Amino acid sequence: MCVCVLYFAKSVELTGVKEEIVAVPTPISSRDVWRLLLQRHQRLSVLQDQVVLAVRQQYVAVGDQVVTLADGDEVAVVPPLSGG
């Protein structure tokens, strides 16, 4: 199954892309989604323990939680945002 991964803020700089299609197994935990993305883009490791994922526009902490993904779902990589 394939999902569309959207990158925001610092994650765009680190990956060099704003979005990409990624094949993922199912079922999968949010931690395993993150590991899969780290394999594709090792530079994302600087965001380890700071990033959250959004699946179908719902925030999901990176952890052991199983996420239910369907073909074509959007998964966003949301690093910490700064500003004022």
pTM: 0.93
How confident is the model over 43-58, as pLDDT tens digits? 999 999 999 999 999 9
Q: Tokens standing for 59?
A: 């925030």
So what's the pLDDT on residue 81?
Answer: 77
Residue with tokens 């994922």: 53
How confident is the model over 7-35, as pLDDT tens digits? 999 999 999 999 999 999 989 999 999 99
Looking at the domain assignment, is residue 9 inside a domain?
yes
Q: Note the Cα 38 to chain centre separation in Å.
A: 9
Looking at the domain assignment, is residue 56 inside a domain?
yes
Q: How far apart are CA 82 and CA 30, in angstroms?
A: 24
H-state helical runs in the chain: 10-15, 30-40
**Nearest-CA neighbor of 47 among 83, 16, 13?**
13
CATH number, residue 67: 3.10.20.30
Q: Looking at the 3D structure of the chain, how many domains does it have?
A: 1
Residue ranges making up the domain that contains 70 = 2-78
Looking at the domain assignment, is residue 83 inside a domain?
no
Looking at the domain assignment, is residue 71 inside a domain?
yes
